[in-house]
Structure 1
């Protein structure tokens, strides 16, 4: 059985005591006790927006450039909340040569917007929420994106994996980087809509 994303399910599962597996937590750098999470060597301040924090992260430069090219800065700076599965620069580098350069051209803005919004979920979805949905769904959770498509979340060993509409997989490498307007989870590959 597969659970499908619904805000009520996320709200109910927020209290679940499940957590992402050890590898994700090892890279987590979760705040608390005065600690500020780090992404790409930069502090991620919970009082700043997704765009403000991503712009400071040393390993999210391609994502930020793409968000600017797609005209999504204002949207991802709004109150939200949003959950962003943020591909690193290395994730974008896995795409075929020239893909990013082609996508950021003005004539491809629609396609770029579709890809970027496929990485965004409405609402604040924490690691516990995702794992709880995977467990409730018998090993899989369907997560509806702002783009309109779905991502399938599952556990492979101790990793949370997102499978896109084309069967591509991305591992969540850092979780629960809290923002003033949502939460960011860092992923190691770009996910693509159907």
Structure 2
């Protein structure tokens, strides 16, 4: 059974391209949004000394991201699937992560991407060297940000989504660009 998230809009792309900052802005404007799985899992695992970290156990990290994304989707459904919900990445991003790491895509991960569908229009933030910064959770370099962008472009396209590249501009202008594309 496939679920249709016609009012669920994904914002994806490489690390450090302004996705989470943009979603924080939308949240302040009253929009519903999800929280990025990867960063949150890294923070939680670091707190408890867990192994589900991209530099310890990549597959376990991917499994936790998948569970997080599916739970975020289900929480969005509780809103009635009638108001726009903005997602800081989505289930297909787990496939992208596994590809980037050279790992096989388990059948259940592919199945999840086929079942948990978002709006056909997906927003993708391009690499933005001027704002890119590494931090405690974001250890990837800028080259990895470019590879991630390319990988996410390929994965979402293969899954039948229409990608809309976000402009490199102020948060307010980026937000208006998205608003005009989800009306």
Same fold (TM over 0.5): no
Q: TM-score range by the shorter chain?
A: under 0.3
Relative to its length, the structure with more helix (as a share) is: 2
**Structure-2-length-normalised TM-score:** 0.28
TM-score (norm 1): 0.27
Higher relative contact order (CA 8 A, sep 6+): 2
